[in-house]
């Protein structure tokens, strides 16, 4: 039986694909390449020496998905496909709700038709909203988000919980990512956002490699260690291993389980900038700018449940994340 990765050519999907292939899984990718490049597939084969069946399709296209499931013996699914830019979701909420929720409903309907009951979902710490205390724990109430992107994650979590209540065979793991950064140590796959990066580390890397003049630090007057925003950064390879562990867990359980994938530690923007610059011996010029709308001062994970249920902890350090990110960016200054 094979594992289907929707959005498997994306940043986290491609790193998870490499990890699963290295662990002996057979993988199928469904990706419309709207936010990824076909070159990623060549790099995955280069790193692992293994082939992956790729379907260049929209997950919301039911006929295309039924064709995939009829041609491939799919045993489980990891669902990455979805739009994920917070700011863009505020400008284009209907596009986000249509794409993210429609694709998930179509996928779940096709899975049901083909009797596939193992599902790992790419959720986000953003579902904790702005009223929960830190560190975030999975049992906390998730009552609302600050942007449509986050709302799609929260709504899909609810859809999956209801689907599990109706189908006792269904096994769902809701992986709540904190801030994934870094790249595979080979430097052959990494984060390749189109246009100007929204997120901190891709922006830092573009400044360091000379593609952008300087970093804007969004606020230094937060109630944090040095006034800049604090987040829980996790190496994308650790995150990929977390997905493999979640898949194994889903094989032996039923019902819906939300699990944080974070390091349990917070780092500020300036700590990140200084670590990246020191580890890679490269300047990262920056200027302090006003706070970004919707940003929270600080959040990070309570990571105990992942250790308890998945026997998984984030092992790679902030230095590893910065070093691997620079290895990717300096060898691929224009991405793929
Ligand atoms: C991190 C810190 C910024 C850019 C978001 C989504 C989350 C996930 C990851 C999709 C904050 C500061 C940033 C910059 C800056 N997205 N910053 N200058 O906002 O924690 O999380 O991205 O899966 O769901 O919510 O990540 O990297 O944008 O910001 O100072 O140019 O860096 O203020 O403190 P965030 P981020």
Output the pLDDT for position 18: 98
What is the tens place of the pLDDT at every residue in 242-297?
A: 999 999 999 999 999 999 999 999 999 999 999 999 999 999 999 999 999 989 99
Output the pLDDT for position 252: 94
Q: Is the pTM of this model over 0.75?
A: yes
Inter-residue contact 142 to 157 (CB < 8 Å): yes
Name the residue at shortest CA distance from atom 22 of ligand 1: 199
Of 268, 269, 275, the residue with max ligand 1 atoms within 8 A of its CB, to mutate for a pocket test, comes to 269
Q: Name the stretches of the chain with pLDDT < 70.
A: none
| Burial of 283 from C-beta contacts in 10 A (0-12 / 13-18 / 19+) | exposed
Which H helix or E strand runs over 120?
strand 118-124
User: Which pair of structure tokens corresponds to residue 241?
Assistant: 């291993």
Give the side-chain half-sphere CA count within 13 A for 141.
4
CA distances from 128 to 92, 244, 302, 307 (A): 22, 24, 12, 20
What is the tens place of the pLDDT at every residue in 157-172?
A: 999 999 999 999 999 9
Q: Find the 304 Cα to ligand 1 centroid distance in Å.
A: 24
Output the pLDDT for position 301: 98
Q: Tell me how far apart the alpha carbons of residues 9 and 35 are, in angstroms, rounded to a whole number.
A: 9
CA distances from 209 to 171, 186, 335 (A): 43, 18, 11
Strand segments, DSSP code E, in 154-274 are 171-177, 179-181, 215-218, 230-231, 233-235, 255-261, 267-268
The sign of the CA dihedral 167, 62, 94, 129 is positive
Q: Find the 200 Cα to ligand 1 centroid distance in Å.
A: 6
Give 24's contacts (C-beta < 8 A, 6+ positions apart).
Answer: none
Output the pLDDT for position 85: 92
| Burial of 102 from C-beta contacts in 10 A (0-12 / 13-18 / 19+) | middle
What's the mean per-residue pLDDT of the chain? 97
Q: Which residues are catalytic?
A: 149
Ligand 1 binding pocket, CB closer than 6 Å: 84, 86, 124, 126, 179, 198-200, 203, 215-218, 229, 231, 269, 292, 295
């Amino acid at each position: 039986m094979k594992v289907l990765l929707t959005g498997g050519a994306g940043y986290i999907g491609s790193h998870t694909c490499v990890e699963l292939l290295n662990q002996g899984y057979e993988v199928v990718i469904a990706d419309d390449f709207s936010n990824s490049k076909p070159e990623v597939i060549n790099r995955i084969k280069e790193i692992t020496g293994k082939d992956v069946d790729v379907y260049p399709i929209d997950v919301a296209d039911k006929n295309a998905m039924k064709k995939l499931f009829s041609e491939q013996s799919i045993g489980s699914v990891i669902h990455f496909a979805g739009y994920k830019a917070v700011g863009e979701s505020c400008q284009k909420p209907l596009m986000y709700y249509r794409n993210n929720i429609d694709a998930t409903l179509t996928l779940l309907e096709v899975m049901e038709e083909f009797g596939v009951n193992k599902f790992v979902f790419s959720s986000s710490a953003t579902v904790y909203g702005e009223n929960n205390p830190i560190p975030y724990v999975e049992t906390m109430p998730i009552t609302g988000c600050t942007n449509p992107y986050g709302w799609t994650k929260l709504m899909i979590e609810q859809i999956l919980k209801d689907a599990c209540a109706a189908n006792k065979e269904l096994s769902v793991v809701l992986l709540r990512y904190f801030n994934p950064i870094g790249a595979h140590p080979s430097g052959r796959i990494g984060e390749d956002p189109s246009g100007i990066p929204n997120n901190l580390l891709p922006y830092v890397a573009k400044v360091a490699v000379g593609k952008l003049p300087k970093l804007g630090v969004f606020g230094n007057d937060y109630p944090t260690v040095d006034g800049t925003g604090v987040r829980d950064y996790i190496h994308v390879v650790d995150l990929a291993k977390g997905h493999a562990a979640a898949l194994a867990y889903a094989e032996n359980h039923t019902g819906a389980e939300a699990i944080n994938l974070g390091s349990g530690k917070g780092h500020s923007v300036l700590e990140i900038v200084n670590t990246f610059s020191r580890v890679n011996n490269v300047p990262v010029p920056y200027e302090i700018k006003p706070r970004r709308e919707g940003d929270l001062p600080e959040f990070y994970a309570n990571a105990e449940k992942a250790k308890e249920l998945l026997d998984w902890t984030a092992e790679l350090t902030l230095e590893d994340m910065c070093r691997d990110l620079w290895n990717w960016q300096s060898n691929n200054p224009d991405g793929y």
